[in-house]
Homo-oligomer: A and B are copies of this chain.
């Protein structure tokens, strides 16, 4: 599993090729034998584990509990919510048999005598099976709110796949809550939206726009879909995650009623919200460079790598190794995730390149001179700045530098987003902006109709990413139809 060292494709010339090569060379993920299904290698999965740990604690802190619902959904359930089945029917994996048998020619095939009476859908999302279950759990207002989450795999049979962003099997979390009132559910959907935004800003250092999806881009079965939209370095937008206010759509489809404080039967109000390993893709496409990954310190599986430098069989080897081991212990004792590379088989230059490729925020090198002068050479992955730090200051300095890198990465990405957001008032300008090398976000007026939205998409491939929540109302006209508009919305070409 050693990373093969080779130059990455030019990021500016072929972003897509750069990305696909990088995720493989950095040992994050690779294709499997099953179309669209990926193998998460240990380093890629460690990133997901970091994300899981931080989010799981945040969910629990806000009163959620984890549960687990079945992988399979009866076909009839999926059909119960009309919009929902429309949304997922075209991309579902379907189990039809429960046994294999050997044919006369020796080939192993599904056993025709073991066909399921009702085929099962591998869950594309779990609203239907969960709301079916909630109908048994919710009887009284005392059972509400019901705040559950699950970490799970779901399947959507995507025809065009891309590592982390769009795969057939998806690792994610899905929260599903039920509430007594519309307002409480609405508030909860927004609260989770904000929780995601805090996490993505503070841990992943990804600036993004919070807003609401248009009716056309809404989740199949939701009344409101709140989204976080980020701008990747190629000027395309990426949806980071969504939180939905489901109204009573699923409670009505699955008959989830409770008696309120007055003893009157009411349908419950729902939310659902999720993020996937797509966040890892966003991390890479926001921060990484021509040398490889660049991981924000707060999410990096390793924040520091220590590389001891010595000549083979040299007299100082033992002392340098001891110095390095002590340094690792010291940093680890302060909860700094530190790796020590004592392999003899690769050259220091090879190692430097390998850890740059893996995006470890700080490289600490200890050679004979550092040993003699009781210092450590520290190099930042983001700026490549090098400094010699006295040993006694190392913990405080490393902590400070990790904070600085985290902030620097966010600022740099924010500057990129801001410099690639264009306010446009004319359809020709709109199209010209989209034709730039890095098209970016476009803020423009729209008449609010799906018809216009679809026409713009057909003609330009740009979609409405969201109706941003922090824009002031303006009276103006739609760039496409000339009809009245009250608010600028955010357009972009998107993943």
Contacts and interface: CB of A to CB of B under 8 A. Distances in A.
Interface string A335-368: 0000000000100000000000000000000000
B75 A108 contact: yes
Contacts of A91: 98-99
Contacts of A422: none
Interface stretch (A63-71, A394-402, A408-416): A63-71
Contacts of A168: 72
A136 B2 CA distance: 11
Interface string A198-235: 00000000000000000000000000000000000000
Interface in A55-77: 65-77
Q: DSSP class of A's interface residues: helix, strand, loop or mixed?
A: mixed
A142 B345 CA distance: 10
A54 interface: no
A65 B146 CA distance: 35
A100 to B, nearest CB: 4
B32 A46 contact: no
Contacts of A85: 100, 108
Contact of A32 (B39, B133, B152): B133
Interface in A75-113: 75-79, 85, 89-102, 108-110
3 residue pairs, one from A and one from B, having the closest CB atoms: A37-B70, A42-B65, A40-B68
23 contacts: A2-B142, A2-B143, A34-B72, A38-B70, A39-B69, A39-B70, A39-B133, A40-B68, A46-B66, A71-B169, A79-B108, A85-B100, A85-B108, A89-B99, A89-B100, A92-B98, A94-B97, A94-B100, A95-B95, A95-B96, A95-B122, A97-B119, A153-B153
